[in-house]
Amino acid sequence: MKTARAFNLLSAVAVWTVCLTGSAKDITVKSTSGQSMDVEVLAYTKSSGNVRIKRTSDGQIFNVKLDAFDAESQKKIADAAPVAMPKLNIEVSNGARRAREGNSSYMKRQEITASVSVKNESRDIDLAKTKFTILLIGRNTSRFADRDQDWSKILANETFTNSLPAGQELKFECKPIMTSYDSDKDYTNVGGWDFDGYLLVLQDEEGRVIEAKTSIGVVESSTLKDKPFLAKATQLSVGTEVERDLTPHGRNR
């Protein structure tokens, strides 16, 4: 590591002589004092204004603030900055409270709650505007009477959109939902929908899936690998019956 002057952008700037590889296009930028150089933008954090650039002439890397550049150069840098995915810590908490339905000791009413917590653990990468979709999914209790009746149903589908600056955290509470089912685990079971778990999908502004998380084993082992299908799954409406892996009920994907 050594220090160098970046054409008087700052009095002293820490630089790295290691050259990073990348396919980003070089741009010409000017400091607020009018001095210019050709650079490759390696990173830009909107929330902090931190910029990392590589000077084309010698490969030196500079960490500077965006406001060290003139207005036109600031826009160039923001437009040329590569999109990076921050490190996210995602937690989904579920609750299911049961009560008897009527005088039956087996029929249950169940209130299901869910909350989402997302923390951006990156120091210098913001999460751009992202669509979060959470599905709450029930499982047919008729499977206890007939193994062939083991499939699922969408009990809730909620979405919210947020950006998340580096180091920040967001929380979202889903609306509570009610379901009912027969809790008897034998041939007398008359059906209903017990809470099975959730699927949380994150999509960028172009609709591409960038992250997903679930508490349902069969969804985790198969469906999470298929990002185009996950994008379609976010559009499943409440009441839709599907296979356990969320494929259409009775049909292949």
Residue 170 pLDDT = 97
Report the chain's mean pLDDT, rounded to a whole number.
87
Span 216-229, average pLDDT: 94
Q: Considering 29, 64, 80, which residue would you say is the last residue of a domain?
A: 80
Residue 251 pLDDT = 64
Residue 152 forms part of a structural domain: yes
DSSP state of 8: T
> What's the rounded Cα separation, in Å, for the pair 64 and 137?
48
Residue 23 pLDDT = 45
Residue 15 pLDDT = 31
Q: Is pLDDT above 90 for 197?
A: yes
Q: 240 Cβ partners below 8 Å, 6+ apart?
A: 153, 154
Same domain for 16 and 117? no
Q: Pairing relation of β-strands 61-65 and 13-16?
A: antiparallel
Q: Is pLDDT above 90 for 102?
A: no
Same domain for 124 and 66? no
In this structure, what CATH number is given to the domain that contains residue 74?
A: 2.30.30
Q: Considering 30, 59, 80, which residue would you say is the last residue of a domain?
A: 80
Closest CA to 132 of 237, 84, 209, 203: 203
For 44-101, how does the pLDDT look when each residue is reduced to its tens digit (9 = 90+)?
A: 888 889 999 999 999 999 999 999 999 999 999 988 888 888 999 999 999 888 777 7
Q: Is pLDDT above 70 for 19?
A: no
Please report the DSSP string for 25-94 in residue order: PPEEEEBTTS-EEEEEEEEEETTTTEEEEEETTT--EEEEEGGGB-HHHHHHHHHHSPP-PPPEEEEEEE
Q: Considering 60, 80, 100, which residue would you say is the last residue of a domain?
A: 80
The model's pTM is 0.77
Total of domains in the chain: 2
The neighbour count for residue 137, using CB atoms within 10 Å, is: 25
pLDDT > 90 in the chain, percent: 72
In this structure, what CATH number is given to the domain that contains residue 102?
A: 2.60.40.10
Please report the DSSP string for 202-221 in residue order: EE-TT--EEEEEES-HHHHH
Burial class (CB in 10 A: 0-12, 13-18, 19+), 39: buried
Confidence of residue 43 (pLDDT cuts 50, 70, 90): confident
Q: Worst-scoring range by mean pLDDT, 22-26, 133-137, 221-225, 246-250?
A: 22-26
Is residue 139 within 8 Å of 110, Cβ to Cβ? no
Residue range(s) defining the domain that contains residue 164: 88-242
Residue 251 forms part of a structural domain: no
Q: Worst-scoring range by mean pLDDT, 73-77, 117-121, 151-155?
A: 73-77
Residue 215 forms part of a structural domain: yes
Same domain for 103 and 36? no
Span 129-145, average pLDDT: 96
Alpha helices in 66-192, H assignment, sequence order: 71-80
Same domain for 98 and 74? no
Residue 22 forms part of a structural domain: yes
Q: Is pLDDT above 60 for 30?
A: yes
Closest CA to 217 of 189, 197, 200: 197
Same domain for 132 and 48? no
Residue 247 forms part of a structural domain: no
Q: Is pLDDT above 60 for 206?
A: yes
